[in-house]
Structure 1
Amino acid sequence: MLSVLEQLIERVEHHLAVIYQDVELITTYPELCKQLLETMRIDNSDLLVEPKRHHNNWDQQDVMLITYGDSIEKSGEKPLHSLHDFLTKYCGDAINSVHLLPFFPYSSDDGFSVIDYSSVNEALGDWDDIRAITTDYRVMSDVVINHCSSRSAWFENFIKGEGPGSDFFYTASLKDDLSKVVRPRTSDLLRLTETPHGEKQVWCTFSHDQVDFDFRNPAVLDTFVSIMRQYLDTGIRIFRLDAVAFLWKKIGTSCINLEQTHEVVRLLRTLIEHAVSDAVIITETNIPNRQNLTYFGNANEAHGIYNFSLPPLLVNTLVTGSCKHLKSWLGSMPPSQNGTFFFNFIASHDGIGLRPAEGLLQDHELTALVNTMQNFGGRISWRTSEDGKQKAYEINIALYDALQGTVKGTDKWGLDRFICAHSIMFGLEGIPGIYIHSLLGTGNDYEKVKNTSHNRSINRHKWDYTKLQEQLALPFSQHSKVHARMIKLLNIRKEQPAFHPSATQFTLQLGEQIFGFWRQSMDRRQSIFCIFNITDEPQSIRLSDMNLIGTDTWFDLISGHTMCLEDLEYRLAPYQSMWISNIGS
């Protein structure tokens, strides 16, 4: 019988054989495997941790706050210190995980054009500040794996033609057939760069300041394994592989979701799990739903995938007053296997991506959604489609403003509609991620857009901590009301076994105006019927439509009311949410 180390070596060599099947290497798979195991420091059988297969290292208490390191600032204090203080004082036990968006030195894209992966941006703090947060919270770090800054030392060495990184970057030719390449941007794909070896056309999926790596070079892979090992050493346990779908390039193909890309994710999972058994990989793949699901593999690839179709479908539901498409999508989604989970979110540092809604919403419905968001102050980011036309790629808007009204215009139900959206997300199968500006009810930041000329800045406000504390101390301020209601929902959620990320879920058929689904705990003791009026008019629901077991006592966990099964129907106020459970909180 093979030892744990021997089995690991066999697996890693298989991963490498798939990744480099079309690449002529100057080393052998055993030699490269040995190097990777040494880099991750798992080359000694005495240090190996055998990961459990199909094991959930998460439960219903897992909730993640998504934030930049400087989303909260205080004069004279390091932003990471201010953020840590905010988490302690204003999140309490309601949130146990934090996604710290890129906290490294960078040159553009608010951190996603990384200059140095091994350093903390001095404007934010240092590694001690990161370690302090990892002591109290489970921290997710970005691994910006597809590209880095054109101002990085690696790319400067590429330009000089010598030194570390000089062979890290993917180049092509203007004569290559690039017609099938899928792009999320409208800028030119190739960047002309002068080097001692002549002019080079450097591949830039996103911008000319974000130069793409060439993973055909094993040194690039080994470098990122080293980076992830460093992050593990600082206490980081969750890795968000940013834009990973574009990682492997092959001329004549779409250069997205290629077989080698999936195998790189599998390899990274194998390595980090053997180093730290509860380490987790989440893939960030803003692509159509079916393609996104493939990153689960056979429960051997990403532990978690972003549920990118949820934001556009949920916003569309609440502004149209029809849950038809949301219900259809949810009913068609496969349950996650044990050992995997959906990462649910409805707002982020970017915007509401529209590619994941392709095939789920029709073109005229997408156009109506875009127009409604523009009426609420949103901006639109565009991409060039396969046929050369400009298509809306992303809606840039603060979620609080996105839900201030319906297709009919703004109304008085904005706060209730906003809370309804989160009540839905908090109840769904998976782990919820809450953007800090949703937790605080922050609106569109037009001034920042004006200053940066970037659409995404509209939802990247920086709070002065003193002013924020003043707002949260006012009982009737917009920010105080949002924060209080969100924290209340999260505190209820974390006590419910039926809200375990992998607990059973079924979509209910309650018409187009009432959205609902049923969750059941893994031990089958608790059932929760999640019911939502997604319209601006009162709606009635028959309890008999949900088949509540008459021998149980049922409670609405949100209102605290006991349900009377003898009542023929219940009347729901506009955007009212109910979590009806057979076990009281």
Structure 2
Amino acid sequence: MTTSWDQLHEKVCNQLQAIYADVHLEIPVGELATELLATMRLKADEDIVQPTPYCNYWDEEDIIMITYGDSVISEGEQPLFTLDRFLHTYCKNTINKVHMLPFFPYSSDDGFSVIDYSSVNESLGDWGDIERLAKHYGLMFDLVINHCSARSAWFENFQKGEGIGSDFFFTADPSDDLSMVTRPRVSPLLRETQTATGTQYVWCTFSHDQVDFDFRNPKVLLAFVEIIRQYLDKGAKLFRLDAVAFLWKIIGTSCINLFQTHECIRLLRTLIEHADPTVIIITETNIPNRENLTYFGNANEAHAIYNFSLPPLLVNTLVTGNCAYLKNWMMSMPPAQNGTTYFNFIASHDGIGLRPAEGLLDDEEISTLVHTMQNFGGKVSWRASDHGQQKPYEINITLFDALQGTTAGPDKWQIDRFICAHAIMLGMEGIPGLYIHSLLGTSNDYEKVANTGQNRSINRHRWNFEELAALLDSPYSQHHKVLTRISQLIRIRKAQPAFHPNATQFTLQLGDTLFGFWRQSLDRRQSVFCVSNVTNEEQSILLSSINLIGTDKWMDLITRDELEDVGGFLQLKPYQTVWISNMEFED
């Protein structure tokens, strides 16, 4: 099915008019739309593919690994080549997509302060290495769209007052009323900067090395559409829109989640899906749950949103032995309509965000969680509240160490608790994303924190490939045990139609010590009951309480044990998960 260039042009014009309704443009909207379409190589004399609405371009086989380009290194090799070798050796039958964290030249924040969007950091490799990875894996590229490095050529031109970038950055006056601005950091919002035209105060949402763009200038939009086109050419199949909630600023507002921001995402969706309908947009919006859900739009904005509330709620569940908060949240989550899905993760290069837990965990529960994580060696990053007070923004700790015990302290169940967390995530509605350091069972890197002075470095360890391989090949190491057990769960998941990201999900009511949900395949042939013991004591479940149909044969997909008495009890060891299915699909 195709659409005419004129129809697409009209749609883009309407979206631009909505975005720039309150902005005086020096270029007519029609000309801007034409330039955007030309940049994406959508030509008037060619048929343009019409994306199929509400189409799911994913299934149960999609598993995303999140990694830096140099998370695994080997002497004498480019890190991107080593990463490809690691994936081929240890993830061949499990991972099919890779989120490549920013691999561009940068000045700070481990890549999220981009100096040059158009080149690969030469310390990692080159575009040939990226294209080699893209032949075997669906690659997710970061589009760091809210800000760039203060050392970029664009910002240098801003300071000089001439050249590309001289008018790309958002400025304000210290006398402006900025009291309502939502801040994820405690650093000053405005950076005093000397320019050829005098002192200006540049908006910096995150740090003074990360200077915010001014999307009121359509040249900024055009620059990023050109970047998107280049990334598509280099093999990008998914785009992660980093910190996109802060994109549009209006003095006197919160400057987060504004209408124009949503409309900009819808415009990018229009351009990208007409260039390649199979490419997926994921919005990274580390904000309260209700606000995060709005980025689905009406299946015309993000294809997927980060399930940011899952990490703090799941860690809280497993360290307290009580799933009440997690269960209440799951019941409140609307099913993602076709054409959209959740991106589930429980660990990432950042920490465990606490803003997405606001309204879901009370202050006392959050305080207990923070204190427990600090006892396990974790760090805390802070933000300024609306009243100027410091509040915990995120906990910085590896997931493996976060689950080393309970609120009572460390215990012997660390690996089982860690695997339980992944079994819960892998069974849930949505596409699962696994951080490389969770796949490897990596512990806190205190040396890197000391070297960088950054709390987030605690979960950004850099492995030597040969040392890592020796550990992964040793059956006695925590790393071998973790990779083996998670890989087994992934292989089972990938073979079950009931684990399709959009398959039906229903929360089970099994009390506070057993967390459970039911999945049913889109064709309704397969049911899987996912039940996890979230405590360090044995629990029993009455199988009749989950309504297993007596005429079907049931088995646990994980242990391969058949359930002979569907009306009897099933004993679950501490942190054991069962996936009870009426059908077995071979992995």
TM-score by length of 1: 0.99
Corresponding position of 1:379: 379
Within-5 A mapping of 1:167-316:
167-316=167-316
Within-5 A mapping of 1:81-96:
81-96=81-96
Distance (whole Å) between structure 2 residues aligned to residue 503 and residue 85 of structure 1: 34
Within-5 A mapping of 1:468-547:
468-547=468-547
Corresponding position of 2:452: 452
The structural deviation recorded for 1:11 is: 1.2
Corresponding position of 2:341: 341
Does structure 1 retain, via aligned residues, the 8 Å contact 2:6–2:44?
Answer: no
Code of the residue aligned with 1:240 in structure 2: it is: R
Aligned to 1:578, what secondary structure does the other structure show? strand
Within-5 A mapping of 1:55-74:
55-74=55-74
Does structure 1 retain, via aligned residues, the 8 Å contact 2:548–2:566?
Answer: no
Distance (whole Å) between structure 1 residues aligned to residue 363 and residue 565 of structure 2: 43
Does structure 1 retain, via aligned residues, the 8 Å contact 2:426–2:490?
Answer: yes
- For the structure 1 residues 251 and 553, does the alpha-carbon distance in structure 2 shift closer, same or farther, using more than 3 Å as the test? same
Does structure 2 retain, via aligned residues, the 8 Å contact 1:150–1:209?
Answer: yes
Aligned to 1:15, what secondary structure does the other structure show? helix
Distance (whole Å) between structure 2 residues aligned to residue 297 and residue 507 of structure 1: 25
Moved more, 36-45 or 440-449: 36-45
Aligned to 1:222, what secondary structure does the other structure show? helix
Does structure 1 retain, via aligned residues, the 8 Å contact 2:400–2:441?
Answer: yes
Code of the residue aligned with 1:248 in structure 2: it is: W
Distance (whole Å) between structure 1 residues aligned to residue 459 and residue 400 of structure 2: 10
Distance (whole Å) between structure 1 residues aligned to residue 329 and residue 442 of structure 2: 29
Code of the residue aligned with 1:232 in structure 2: it is: L
User: Deviation above 3 Å: which 4+ runs of structure 1?
Assistant: none
Does structure 1 retain, via aligned residues, the 8 Å contact 2:3–2:48?
Answer: no
Aligned to 1:99, what secondary structure does the other structure show? strand
Distance (whole Å) between structure 2 residues aligned to residue 90 and residue 45 of structure 1: 47
Code of the residue aligned with 2:217 in structure 1: it is: N
Aligned to 1:148, what secondary structure does the other structure show? strand
Describe the superposition over 1:497-550 as per-residue Cα deviations: whole angstroms up to 9, x where unpaired. 000000000000000000000000000000000000000000010000000001
Code of the residue aligned with 1:181 in structure 2: it is: V
Count how many residue pairs are aligned between Structure 1 and Structure 2. 585
Corresponding position of 2:24: 24
- For the structure 1 residues 553 and 39, does the alpha-carbon distance in structure 2 shift closer, same or farther, using more than 3 Å as the test? same
Describe the superposition over 1:298-345 as per-residue Cα deviations: whole angstroms up to 9, x where unpaired. 110000000000000000000000000000000010000101010000
Distance (whole Å) between structure 2 residues aligned to residue 47 and residue 532 of structure 1: 51
The structural deviation recorded for 1:45 is: 4.7
Aligned to 2:563, what secondary structure does the other structure show? coil
The structural deviation recorded for 1:44 is: 3.1
Code of the residue aligned with 2:488 in structure 1: it is: K
Distance (whole Å) between structure 2 residues aligned to residue 489 and residue 213 of structure 1: 42
The structural deviation recorded for 1:47 is: 4.8
Aligned to 2:46, what secondary structure does the other structure show? helix
Within-5 A mapping of 1:43-122:
43-122=43-122
Aligned to 1:94, what secondary structure does the other structure show? coil
Describe the superposition over 1:325-370 as per-residue Cα deviations: whole angstroms up to 9, x where unpaired. 0000000100001010100000000000000000000000000000
Corresponding position of 1:548: 548
Code of the residue aligned with 1:161 in structure 2: it is: G
Aligned to 2:317, what secondary structure does the other structure show? helix
Aligned to 1:394, what secondary structure does the other structure show? strand
Percent identity, aligned pairs only, is 66
Distance (whole Å) between structure 1 residues aligned to residue 84 and residue 475 of structure 2: 23
Whether 1:152 aligns to 2:146 is no
Within-5 A mapping of 1:405-424:
405-424=405-424
- For the structure 1 residues 398 and 3, does the alpha-carbon distance in structure 2 shift closer, same or farther, using more than 3 Å as the test? closer
Aligned to 1:515, what secondary structure does the other structure show? strand
- For the structure 1 residues 571 and 45, does the alpha-carbon distance in structure 2 shift closer, same or farther, using more than 3 Å as the test? farther
Code of the residue aligned with 1:119 in structure 2: it is: S
The structural deviation recorded for 1:93 is: 2.0
The structural deviation recorded for 1:46 is: 1.6
- For the structure 1 residues 198 and 525, does the alpha-carbon distance in structure 2 shift closer, same or farther, using more than 3 Å as the test? same
Aligned to 1:237, what secondary structure does the other structure show? strand
Distance (whole Å) between structure 2 residues aligned to residue 47 and residue 201 of structure 1: 47
Computed over aligned residues only, the root mean square deviation of the Cα atoms, in angstroms, reads 1.0
Does structure 2 retain, via aligned residues, the 8 Å contact 1:170–1:202?
Answer: yes
Moved more, 159-168 or 567-576: 567-576
The structural deviation recorded for 1:567 is: 5.4
Distance (whole Å) between structure 1 residues aligned to residue 373 and residue 337 of structure 2: 35
The structural deviation recorded for 1:43 is: 2.5
Distance (whole Å) between structure 2 residues aligned to residue 389 and residue 412 of structure 1: 38
Distance (whole Å) between structure 2 residues aligned to residue 100 and residue 19 of structure 1: 30
Code of the residue aligned with 1:251 in structure 2: it is: I
Code of the residue aligned with 1:81 in structure 2: it is: F
The structural deviation recorded for 1:277 is: 1.2
Code of the residue aligned with 1:156 in structure 2: it is: E
Distance (whole Å) between structure 1 residues aligned to residue 43 and residue 512 of structure 2: 56
Corresponding position of 1:40: 40
The structural deviation recorded for 1:121 is: 0.1
- For the structure 1 residues 177 and 541, does the alpha-carbon distance in structure 2 shift closer, same or farther, using more than 3 Å as the test? same
Code of the residue aligned with 1:274 in structure 2: it is: H
Distance (whole Å) between structure 2 residues aligned to residue 177 and residue 331 of structure 1: 40
Describe the superposition over 1:384-437 as per-residue Cα deviations: whole angstroms up to 9, x where unpaired. 000111000000000000000000000000000000000000000000000000
Code of the residue aligned with 1:189 in structure 2: it is: L
- For the structure 1 residues 3 and 464, does the alpha-carbon distance in structure 2 shift closer, same or farther, using more than 3 Å as the test? closer
Does structure 1 retain, via aligned residues, the 8 Å contact 2:286–2:308?
Answer: yes
Distance (whole Å) between structure 1 residues aligned to residue 207 and residue 566 of structure 2: 62
- For the structure 1 residues 567 and 550, does the alpha-carbon distance in structure 2 shift closer, same or farther, using more than 3 Å as the test? closer
The structural deviation recorded for 1:556 is: 0.3
Distance (whole Å) between structure 1 residues aligned to residue 8 and residue 134 of structure 2: 28
Whether 1:319 aligns to 2:315 is no
The structural deviation recorded for 1:28 is: 1.1
The structural deviation recorded for 1:226 is: 0.4
Distance (whole Å) between structure 2 residues aligned to residue 78 and residue 435 of structure 1: 21
Distance (whole Å) between structure 1 residues aligned to residue 436 and residue 383 of structure 2: 27
Aligned to 1:483, what secondary structure does the other structure show? helix
Does structure 1 retain, via aligned residues, the 8 Å contact 2:3–2:49?
Answer: no
Does structure 1 retain, via aligned residues, the 8 Å contact 2:192–2:202?
Answer: yes
The structural deviation recorded for 1:50 is: 1.3
Does structure 2 retain, via aligned residues, the 8 Å contact 1:174–1:201?
Answer: yes
Corresponding position of 1:164: 164
Describe the superposition over 1:476-511 as per-residue Cα deviations: whole angstroms up to 9, x where unpaired. 110000000011000000000000000000000000
- For the structure 1 residues 194 and 315, does the alpha-carbon distance in structure 2 shift closer, same or farther, using more than 3 Å as the test? same
Does structure 2 retain, via aligned residues, the 8 Å contact 1:4–1:45?
Answer: no
Aligned to 1:136, what secondary structure does the other structure show? coil
